[in-house]
């Protein structure tokens, strides 16, 4: 914005610059994008795992499945990969022997206040 004073006049003339306007618009859009990104990062920092039931899955927590005495739990899809590294028991190789006990308690998973919970039978 350019301010100009003319000799003999008491008023001030203001010349508008379109470049300043469009720069302000672009900066405002960038500001909104940054706020949205920070809000999403804040959700993860607070431990928000899910936003709907479909974000949660049942995962095996140990070498034995829940149908063979092991246990299961509900976890977010993004966290489920941490449990895929759990190697299933292989009795033929003498690694682990699982008890033939049905221990599956979780029927389905639900998202409650940003956390995945198991709904038991």
Rounded-to-integer distance, Cα 87 and Cα 64, Å: 9
Rounded-to-integer distance, Cα 77 and Cα 54, Å: 9
Per-residue pLDDT, 74: 92
Residue 47 scores a pLDDT above 70: no
Q: Report the pLDDT averaged over residues 32-38.
A: 83
Residue 57 scores a pLDDT above 90: yes
**pLDDT mean across residues, the chain:** 79
SS (H, E, C) 9-77: CCCCEEECCHHHHHHHHHHHHHHHHHHHHHHHHHHHHCCCCCCCHHHEEEEECCCCCHHHCCCEEEEEH
């Amino acid at each position: 914005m350019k301010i100009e004073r003319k000799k003999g006049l008491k008023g001030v003339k203001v010349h508008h610059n379109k470049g300043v306007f469009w720069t302000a618009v672009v900066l405002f859009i960038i500001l909104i994008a940054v706020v949205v990104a920070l809000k999403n990062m804040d959700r993860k920092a607070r431990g928000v795992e899910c936003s709907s039931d479909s974000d949660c899955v049942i995962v095996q927590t140990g070498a034995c499945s829940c149908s063979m005495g092991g246990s299961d739990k509900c976890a977010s899809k993004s966290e489920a990969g941490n449990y895929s590294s759990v190697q299933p028991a292989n009795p033929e190789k003498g690694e682990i022997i699982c008890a033939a006990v049905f221990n599956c308690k979780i029927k389905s998973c639900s998202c409650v206040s940003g956390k995945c919970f198991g709904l038991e039978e």
